[in-house]
Structure 1
Amino acid sequence: MQSKGINKASVIRFLREYTIYVALAVVILFFAITLRGKGFFTPGNALNIIRQTSALAIMGVGLTFVICTGGIDLSIGSIVGLSSLLTALAMRQGANVFLAFLVGIATGALVGAVNGFLYSKLKMPSFISTLAMSGIIYGIALLPTESSPVPIANDLFNEIFGSGDIGPIPILMIWMITAVILGHIMLRHMKYGRQVLAVGGNEISAKYSGINTAKIKFQVMLVCGTMAGLAGCLYAGRMHTGRCTFGEGAETQVIAGVVLGGTIMNGGKGSIIGTLVGSILIGMISNGLVIMGLNVAQQEIVQGIIIILAIAFGSAQEREA
């Protein structure tokens, strides 16, 4: 009987730690069978998946910190659109590459700071406050151009932040790996990361242990907004244009990647590496569905089902914990 208990515990532990990798293997096997000879397993398509996934993974890094505290940020898609648009407008007004990049980053950081104030100081539920902020940001982004795109003709900007390559490696992959490494170090190997997890695990205990929980909540929103601002610059560089609709609906894919990667929605547990793998998995599924010939509506249905299953599995893990 004891042996059976140990085996059950081992299985649960294995599922908690390696579910995302098992899911990745299953998806690869599924597409290997269904998309044989259709170009899915080619180096060119693999690089295409990376390009499509990079900005989502970077947003996921920021969102992982927020969810680890038990919060959520539903404004990241709108931040991406506004950041890309203001970056493009700055370029059109004669700003150099570095200044335009700072405009995009500062846009995300400013919105993140507002979200952090509402979350930490006013103690508003992050679901409500960031949902409202999403609408406000989108409305602001509509004002200058009324959803018209703003082209970016600066080749250097487009190379550095989107379409460039370093040898065979897309520049977007470099940005993604850099964000993941920094996020992983912050969450796993720094005092700050331990405090973030402590706030999500038990905020009252964290407060009594001397952690400034309000400060941590403000900071995670600031980090998340900044990462979304960076993603906006990368969207602009990749598409050679800024547009308020960039990032529209991206929240769904980002949340799916974070949750599939093992971050618990109620907070207290998260993995940046898991978020990276989860984001790649979502990107791979989206890419495979396109090759299979599914339309946008069908893709949205599949992705919605994936999110429901991921959250349901995460809840099951919490109950078993």
Structure 2
Amino acid sequence: MQSKVSSEVKQPSVSILKKFDWRDYIVYIAFVGVLIYFSVTLFDQGFLTSGNLLNIVRQTATITLMALAMTFVISSGEIDLSVGSIAALSSLAGALALQAGYGIFGGLIAGVGTGLLVGIVNGLLVTKVAIPSFLVTLGTMGAVKGIAMWVTDTAPVPIVDADFNFIFGSGDIGPIPVLLIWTLVFAIIAHILLRKTSYGRKVLATGGNENAARFSGVKTARVKLMVFVGTGLMAGLAGLLYAGRMNAGRFSFGEGDELSVIAAVILGGTALAGGVGTIIGTVIGSLMIGVINNGLIIMGLDVSQQMIIRGLIIILAVALGRKAVSR
């Protein structure tokens, strides 16, 4: 009798251990490992100070917001390379609207509206013209970057509206940066959309098997259009956050961000082939990239060395994405 009871107690724990796969938590393990490494090696250089940790949050906020939207795009089996350029053009659009006297609301509409417009163009070219998203967004990345450079002849547009700068980047509510609040709010919204709504299920179904999803009644073209609209909107908002934090709109904002955004999404556990997505993992992946960048800067590495490390992160992200798909 006693042995029977003990076997019943042990059996559930054994099954739980069998179900546990450390590869499902690789981003969390890696994040903790990276944080511990820099905490130990840079302890005497202020890495663990509250000011530096909050600075990491500020620096990664724009990447995180774009990565949240990119999670939906990649989960649907597509990709968007234009987010960095959209952020740059949106920052200029918002700054020009403020300069013209349209106020904070006008700047918000101009910046987010610019991102929305480019997102719609991307989505229509992918769904209606049937051009692969890689080629579409590669083309719009260059076109939008060119427009951003042409609009102001590469000159920055200063923003003197203190309220705008406070709300969209440089403000703090007590010890909490406004950028952290933006990140948390949209991370919660994105998680609910992906995990708790029919829209999220349709996105994952489209990326998992588009034909099967279509036969099941999912309007996959509409789903793909919506995910590109989402990245356009979030990239537009990211551009305004760049402008608010730097007190200006610039054509160079967001340059190279598309690589960091995609790396954050894939490192977080979203499958590069689509069908699998995680918002929490994306946030952790973005923070990990921010910690690495911050640590490398404090260590004194120059820009070229930082680019090498970032490139290796991209390779690692793709490798982990392929592993997740193959399992």
Of the three residues 240, 263, 268, the one matched with 1:261 is 268
Superposed CA deviations along residues 268-319 of structure 1, whole A, max 9, x for unmatched, are 0011111111101100100000000011111011011011012112212221
Instruction: For 1:71-86, list aligned pairs within 5 A.
Output: 71-86=78-93
**Runs of 4+ in structure 1 displaced over 2 angstroms?**
5-11
**Equivalent residue, structure 2, for 1:137:** 144
Q: Which runs of no fewer than 5 residues in structure 2 stay unpaired?
A: 1-13
TM-score (norm: length of structure 2): 0.94
Q: 2:285 aligns with which of 278, 292, 299?
A: 278
Q: Residue deviations 1:152-201, cap 9 Å, x none? A: 00000000001011111000111111111111000000000000000000
Mapped to 2, the partners of 1:296 and 1:95 lie a distance apart of 38
2:244 to 229, 233, 237: 237
Cα distance in 2 for partners of 1:316, 1:305 equals 17
State the match for 1:51 in structure 2: 58
Q: 1: distance between equivalents of 2:30 and 2:186?
A: 24
Structure 1 residues 270 and 43, CA, compared in 2 at 3 Å: closer, same or farther?
same
Q: d(CA) in 2 for partners of 1:317 and 1:265?
A: 9
Q: Within the alignment, does 1:15 sit opposite 2:23 as a pair?
A: yes
Distance in 2, matches of 1:148 and 1:120, equals 35
Q: Quick one: distance in 2 between partners of 1:9 and 1:129?
A: 44
Q: Give CA-to-partner distance per residue, 1:6-30, whole Å, 9 cap, x none.
A: 799645x3312x1111001110121
Structure 1: gaps of 5 or more residues: none
1:142 is displaced (CA, Å) by 1.4
Segment drifting more, 21-30 vs 308-317? 308-317
Output the CA distance in 2 between the equivalents of 1:189 and 1:94.
Answer: 41
CA distance in 1: counterparts of 2:326 and 2:286, whole angstroms: 25
Q: What is the one-letter code of the residue matched to 1:15? A: R
Contact kept, 8 Å, 2:269 with 2:324, in 1: the verdict is no
Q: Deviations over 1:62-95 (max 9, x none)?
A: 1110000111000000000000011111111111
Q: Does 2:162 match 1:155?
A: yes
The question of 1:38 aligning with 2:45 is answered yes
Q: Greater Rg, structure 1 or structure 2?
A: 2
TM-score scaled to structure 1, two decimals?
A: 0.95
Mapped to 1, the partners of 2:260 and 2:213 lie a distance apart of 31
Identical pairs, percent: 52
SS in 2 for 1:54: helix
TM-superposed deviation, 1:36: 2.2
- Whole-angstrom CA distance in 2 between matches of 1:7 and 1:313: 24
Task: Please give the secondary structure, in 2, of the residue aligned with 1:63.
Answer: helix
User: Cα RMSD between the aligned structures?
Assistant: 1.4
2:294 to 264, 277, 287: 287
